[in-house]
Amino acid sequence: MNPPPWLRRVCLISLLVGLALVVLGPVLAYGVVSWQVDQQAGDPAKAFEAAIEPWRQGLLWTTPIGMAMVFQGGLGLLFFWVTRVADASRDT
């Protein structure tokens, strides 16, 4: 059974986008909030907590969606690898 070649690209793109959502979402939020806190005067801990709350609420969806995309993409690529190994062992 040979899956269409575009399906492998879809799985790889899903894996990469999911990793970007899981990793870069919180990193982006932390970087922007740290920059905002550096611009303000006062207690840094309270300013950071007040500044991160809107970002935390806005980026709440990135981790579960990203993890689901990583799982789906990784599972698809694992399927392609297993079928390639099975086809190669069948030919020998």
Residue 91 pLDDT > 70, yes or no? yes
φ, ψ at 43 (rounded to 5°):
-75, 115
Q: Model's pTM, two decimal places? A: 0.67
Per DSSP, the chain holds a count of helices (H) and strands (E) of 3, 0
- In angstroms, how far apart are the furthest CA atoms of the chain? 71
Task: Please give the DSSP secondary-structure letter assigned to residue 42.
Answer: S
Amino acid at 84: R
| Residue 11 to residues 6, 69, 74, Cα–Cα distance (Å) | 9, 9, 7
Residue 39 pLDDT > 70, yes or no? no
Residue 71's pLDDT band, with cuts at 50, 70 and 90, is: very high
Quick check: helix, strand or coil at residue 51? helix
